[in-house]
Structure 1
Amino acid sequence: MRKILVVGSGQSGLQLALGLQSHGYDVTVLSARTPEEVYSGRVMSTQCMFDTALGHERDLGVNFWDNDAPRIEGLNVAVAGEGKPMIEWVGWLDGPAQSVDQRVKMAGWMEAFENRGGNLVIHGVTVSDLDRFVNLYDLVVVAAGRGELVELFGRDASRSPYTEPQRSLAVSYVRGMGPRPEHLRADAVRITLIPGVGELFIIPALTTSGPCDILFFEGIPGGPLDSFADLRDPGEHLHRTLELIREFVPWEYDRYRDAELTDAHGTLQGRFAPTVRHPVGTLPSGGTVLGMADVVVANDPIVGQGSNNASKCASIYLNRILEHGDRPFDTEFMQRTFDAFWEDVQYSTNWSNAMLQPPPPHVLELIGAGMKHQALCDRFANGFNNPKDLFDWFMDPEKAKAYLAELEANPTAV
């Protein structure tokens, strides 16, 4: 029986571990925290997972929250004007999306992994630890996206256009909001672009205390939304969030004026530079480890692809490991496995990086055309599930022009 060590207990690491476990592999997961510590700790992310990524969870039988999480059926896109949206439309998804607080999901998956016979070890891992572990396992996969372990994987400058953070991030998990906006027939992620300032995302989600909304600001550094770094009190964090909503997205304010945090750990703020790293990490002893998901492809969350990419990475790595059989997991295997992931993730990475810049004229034209063409709105919404499709019309000026001409000639064209 092949022995595999997974370092990290997030979306990608646990999903991979559960998958390998279901195929009879001897899997050990190293986590810095117990399930109880994860569940009662600070929120770790925003997340909205779309149909393809959720399908990988269904395939493993670990979609434990389908009956409890809000069923997200669309994306409401708006461009802020003076006190009201200049542009607003809704695109509907072909398959529902879902957002589950990672505290809930990761604690649940850790318990499921143990209950199914997996070896969960609570241990903070250093590079020197990996140097000891690498000879005890057939393969070591690093899925912990922070700290010194990430530095094992060198930055790929050819795929990393930014060296500095492009957004300041501020998150609040809230409850006690008003009813859903009348123009939405179902739960939807609401995205408001605030020109020259940043973006507000509102995501229906499931947290430790039940359904909630996630309020998520992405602020251009140095701008008015970049104002959370000095806050340590969660209540002050929420107060500032609501004040900024009242100033820049006032039509959303009434729904949230009486909102409260879901719990004392329901806020998060920070920033990082989007970075792609080389997938093979070399230890001081010469041993090698394989990086996965946001260890090697860390995108800004502006288009909500992080947890989706993590799920897709886990699925691709699982299939590659299974196909590899009893052969050694050498550096050639590691590189080819990452290359298969990059073939998929390159589209969301390039899209994320492009959306951090002011929108070019053809994108503005497409967003405006959403007021007229429902097919465009729906296609954009489903691009979050399949970012590759966006490169056939959204990301290229000439293809955008041709698509708009096609819509004018046949408004029902997809």
Structure 2
Amino acid sequence: MRKILVVGAGQSGLQLALGLQAHGYEVTLMSNRTADEIRTGRVMSTQVMFHTALQHERDLKLNFWEHRAPRIEGLGMSVAGPAAQRVVDWTGRLRGYAQSVDQRVKMAGWLEAFAQRGGRLVVHGAAVSDLDYFSRAYDLVLVAAGKGELVSMFARDAARSPHREPQRALAVAYVHGLAPRPECPDTDAMRCNLVPGVGELFVIPTLTLSGRADILFWEGVPGGPADVFQGVGSPAEHLSLMLGLMQRYTPWEYARATKAELTDARGTLVGRYAPTVRHPVAHLPGGGLALGVADVVVVNDPVTNQGANAAAKCAASYLASILERGEKEFDEAWMRATFDRYWESARHVTKWTNAMLGVPPEHVLNLIGAAGALPAVADRFAAGFDDPSDFEDFFYEPERTEAYLASLTGTHA
């Protein structure tokens, strides 16, 4: 029986560990926290997972909360103009519903399932010296801990990483008490509000520890009006700042949030990081190798809500590569080929995310505006959140955008 070590108990690490376990591998999982510590800790992300990523969970029978989490059937886009008026507003239909489950709920539950199914769980923060030791005892070492000392083992890929500094200041609040959306009161939809020069506000239906909730998520341009959360003293002050920004820049969202309350005292999060692609193989001091997983090797800004989706897709891709390898050695050539296989899909996420972090060019603004009058455009844009590769055909190049819109309107570019 092949022995595999997985370091990190997030979406990718746990999904991969549970998948390997289901296929008979002897898996050791290293987590820096117990399930109870995760469950009672601070929120970790704004995860919203689309159809393909959810299907990877279903394939492994890990969709424990599917019947409890809100079914997100649409994706809305609003653009703020002068005097905080909505100059664009539409909702595209998703081809398969999306869902969001607070990672405190999901990761704690998956961690318990891994242990109950006989997996070896080591609760310990891993250092490079630990991996150096373990690499001699395992056939494969997978690093899925996207923060801390271990990430530094994986060198930055400058050719694929155009940014060295964070492109957004991130602020999150999980809340109860949001009123239904007037334009679609009976349909759950994720909403992206673009505020030029300020940033983006996302509103995401979710399932948290206390049941149904919504995530308020500001992505502020660094140094701009929404970059005000660093050093905030209390959760209540954090929420007050978020609501104040909504009242000023997205009053249509604030109108729903006048009775919003935090789901719990640990329902807020602040952060920022530079989007980075790293080389996938780390050489350990003793000569061993480690393969980076998901955020360790490809971390994008959450402006396109792809983090948990990319992690699930990476875990599924790596699982397939490991199963296909059989009894052969997990050597460096195989590790690089395994990453390259995942990069075929991940590169589309990175390209799209980096494009959305910049000032939208005129043809993109025209495309977003056209979606208000052309439901097919709204639906296709929404579908791109599940399959970002489709943006290649109609998003990046003005000529392709114009040809696509012309094909729908019967006009000539």
Match of 2:5 in 1: 5
The 2-side partners of 1:183 and 1:316 are apart by 36
Letter in 1 for 2:39: Y
Match of 1:45 in 2: 45
Q: Report runs of 4+ in structure 1 exceeding 4 Å deviation.
A: none
Kindly report which structure 2 residues correspond to 1:6-155, keeping only aligned pairs within 5 A, or say none.
Answer: 6-81=6-81, 82-155=83-156
Which SS does the other structure have where 2:327 is aligned?
coil
Q: Identify the range of structure 1 (69-78 vs 249-258) with the bigger mean alpha-carbon deviation.
A: 249-258
Match of 2:248 in 1: 247
Q: Does 1:195 align with 2:189?
A: no
Deviations 1:164-207 (A, max 9, x none): 01100000000012223233541000110001110000000000
The 1-side partners of 2:355 and 2:286 are apart by 39
Match of 1:330 in 2: 331
Which SS does the other structure have where 2:256 is aligned?
helix
The root-mean-square deviation of aligned C-alpha atoms, in Å, is: 0.9
The 1-side partners of 2:281 and 2:185 are apart by 46
The 2-side partners of 1:395 and 1:308 are apart by 22
Q: Does 1:173 align with 2:183?
A: no
Letter in 2 for 1:101: D
The 2-side partners of 1:403 and 1:182 are apart by 28
Deviation at 1:83, TM superposition (A): 3.2
Q: Unmatched 5+ residue regions in structure 1?
A: none
- TM-score where L is the length of structure 1: 0.98
The 2-side partners of 1:25 and 1:232 are apart by 46
Q: Identify the range of structure 1 (249-258 vs 300-309) with the bigger mean alpha-carbon deviation.
A: 249-258
Deviations 1:73-92 (A, max 9, x none): 01110001223211100100
Letter in 1 for 2:212: P
The 1-side partners of 2:178 and 2:185 are apart by 15
The 1-side partners of 2:292 and 2:156 are apart by 12
Kindly report which structure 2 residues correspond to 1:272-287, keeping only aligned pairs within 5 A, or say none.
Answer: 272-287=273-288
Match of 2:385 in 1: 384
The 2-side partners of 1:349 and 1:142 are apart by 20
Which SS does the other structure have where 2:180 is aligned?
coil
Letter in 2 for 1:73: E
Deviations 1:8-50 (A, max 9, x none): 0000000001110110000010000000000000000011100
The 2-side partners of 1:347 and 1:156 are apart by 16
Deviation at 1:149, TM superposition (A): 0.1
Q: Identify the range of structure 1 (332-341 vs 392-401) with the bigger mean alpha-carbon deviation.
A: 392-401
Contact 1:83/1:251 (CA < 8 Å) preserved in 2? no
Deviation at 1:230, TM superposition (A): 2.0
Q: Unmatched 5+ residue regions in structure 2?
A: none
Letter in 2 for 1:21: Q
- TM-score where L is the length of structure 2: 0.98
Q: Does 1:186 align with 2:187?
A: yes
Match of 1:353 in 2: 354
Match of 2:267 in 1: 266
Q: Identify the range of structure 1 (174-183 vs 375-384) with the bigger mean alpha-carbon deviation.
A: 174-183
Percent pairwise identity: 61
Deviations 1:313-356 (A, max 9, x none): 00000000000011111111110000001011100111001110
The 1-side partners of 2:379 and 2:149 are apart by 42
The 1-side partners of 2:394 and 2:255 are apart by 36
Q: Identify the range of structure 1 (373-382 vs 108-117) with the bigger mean alpha-carbon deviation.
A: 108-117
Deviation at 1:232, TM superposition (A): 3.0
The 1-side partners of 2:84 and 2:200 are apart by 15
Contact 1:77/1:192 (CA < 8 Å) preserved in 2? yes
Q: Does 1:371 align with 2:380?
A: no
Which SS does the other structure have where 1:255 is aligned?
coil
